[in-house]
């Protein structure tokens, strides 16, 4: 499929690279192509400069936000959650209309260590995006694990779970199909219902980040254990 | 040990009954003993009237809040989180001073279905209790699972995790000892650090309640799966 990943950070790269390796026609959208390719310092997350990743992933084209929006039959929001609404506005409401918009972003409040959330309990980023782009078919998923695990759950042993939420059943089914391509088996995908479920899965993240400290690693996920 | 459980609901009963069966000297504290014993209708949670439970658990004495506070060397807050601060005030700040106060309560906003939280992200019930009773040694734990699992984790197969948070290391160690008596092995107990960790584990609960719907059961927990 033609897929546009919005965001050039670690999550965007992991998802775009994996989708391309699965045979999809993938672009990454950025605000300013020249500037993104011109950066030489590592990112604040510790990621290498984009140009370095780009050289090893030439099948993924880097294009301006609006071009990404027109390319993608599916749009993946992998931007910094603090600026997702602006980035998606630049992608273009018209480009998002009617399309599946997979939202992986996190509205992190980095003034806390480990981070807390910029929005929680009474709202969520997933819901904000659905409200801002009512014609997009938003599905919130994948944000509860490290980027490398999002696209390759077999990095961890045994069963562990991933959540999704959204209003549009067909959009959720298309998203599940991509999750299956990444390696998430049907029985580990948990549907939290409508987009309000985004609030619930985003609110798990403060615990997730505390666990990264307690466990000393980001390479983990949670598994539901039933009686 | 002499332990006072505050709260006559399902959580209070489960914890008090289990502690008594382990040989501890346990009281349950309530606002009005006569009224609690006189109720004949099932509780809003579906629990049977207290008097019925009481007849089967005569080794657990029901006493007024303040008497519970003076009895307990360890105090367990198993009240409805919406009224925990008032209940603990009735137990008595003097009775809480210097003691381990294990906080299991949840500040649930039941106007949402499944419930959300009355306080989140910028504060938590565990932190509110520690601030209101600065001489108590608050440890937040056990609130992330069904009452029956709190006191008997072996109801679920294999490894699954429980969290604790609090400022006082000795209080956390005493709490861990009780967790071990319940059946939580050391390797599944995850210390989230200071009492601010309560915020993180309480914020997992909206996901927990959505999962009860998605899974069709409360009989589950999460297990950390590491790479």
Distance from CA of B218 to the nearest CA of A (A): 9
Nearest CB neighbour to B206, from listed A203, A217, A220: A203
C-alpha to C-alpha distance for A29 and A17, rounded to whole angstroms: 13
CB A106 within 8 A of CB A99: no
Given a cut of 80, whether residue A45 has pLDDT beyond it is: no
Mean pLDDT to the nearest integer, A193-198: 98
| The predicted structure's pLDDT at residue A89 | 98
- Residue of B41 and B93 predicted with greater confidence: B93
| The predicted structure's pLDDT at residue A44 | 77
Task: Give the rounded percent of residues in chain B with a pLDDT score beyond 70.
Answer: 100
Given a cut of 80, whether residue B45 has pLDDT beyond it is: no
CB A142 within 8 A of CB A172: no
Given a cut of 90, whether residue B42 has pLDDT beyond it is: no
**pLDDT tens digits, one per residue of B139-197:** 999 999 999 999 999 999 999 999 999 999 999 999 999 999 999 999 999 999 999 99
Q: Which class for B205: exposed (0-12), middle (13-18), buried (19 or more C-beta within 10 A)?
A: buried
Categorize the per-residue pLDDT at A204 as very low, low, confident or very high, splitting at 50, 70 and 90. Answer: very high
**pLDDT tens digits, one per residue of B96-124:** 999 999 999 999 999 999 999 999 999 99
Tell me the three state secondary structure of residue B137.
Answer: strand
Nearest CB neighbour to A207, from listed B117, B201, B226: B201
Best of B166, B172, B225 to disrupt the A interface (most A CBs within 10 Å) is: B225
Mean pLDDT to the nearest integer, A162-188: 98
- In this prediction the ipTM stands at 0.96
Query: Which letter does DSSP use for residue B48 in this model?
Result: P
Average of per-residue pLDDT values in chain B: 97
Categorize the per-residue pLDDT at B209 as very low, low, confident or very high, splitting at 50, 70 and 90. Answer: very high
Find chain B residues with C-beta within 8 A of A117's C-beta: 121
Would you tell me the crossing angle of helices B84-91 and B125-132 to the nearest 10 degrees? 30
**pLDDT tens digits, one per residue of A163-173:** 999 999 999 99
Nearest CB neighbour to B204, from listed A207, A219, A220: A207
Find chain B residues with C-beta within 8 A of A221's C-beta: 224-225
Find the closest chain B residue to A123 by CA distance: B116
Best of A156, A193, A226 to disrupt the B interface (most B CBs within 10 Å) is: A226
């Amino acid at each position: 499929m033609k897929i546009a990943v919005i965001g050039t950070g670690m999550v965007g790269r992991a998802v775009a690279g994996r989708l391309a390796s699965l045979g999809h026609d993938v672009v990454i959208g950025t605000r300013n192509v020249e500037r993104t390719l011109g950066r030489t310092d590592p990112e604040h997350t510790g990621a290498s400069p984009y140009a370095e990743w780009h050289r090893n992933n030439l099948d993924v084209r880097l294009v301006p936000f609006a071009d990404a929006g027109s390319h993608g039959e599916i749009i993946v929001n992998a931007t910094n959650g603090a600026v997702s609404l602006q980035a998606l506005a630049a992608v273009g409401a018209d480009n998002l209309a009617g399309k599946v918009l997979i939202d992986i972003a996190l509205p992190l409040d980095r003034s806390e260590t480990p981070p807390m959330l910029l929005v929680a309990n009474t709202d969520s980023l997933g819901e904000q995006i659905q409200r801002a782009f009512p014609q997009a078919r938003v599905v919130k998923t994948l944000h509860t694990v490290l980027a490398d695990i999002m696209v390759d759950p077999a990095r961890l042993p045994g069963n562990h779970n991933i959540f999704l939420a959204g209003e549009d059943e067909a959009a959720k089914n298309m998203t599940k199909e991509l999750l299956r391509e990444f390696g998430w088996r049907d029985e580990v995908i948990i549907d939290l219902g409508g987009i309000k479920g985004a609030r619930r899965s985003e609110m798990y993240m403060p615990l997730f980040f505390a666990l990264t400290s307690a466990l000393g690693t980001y390479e983990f996920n949670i598994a539901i254990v039933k009686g």
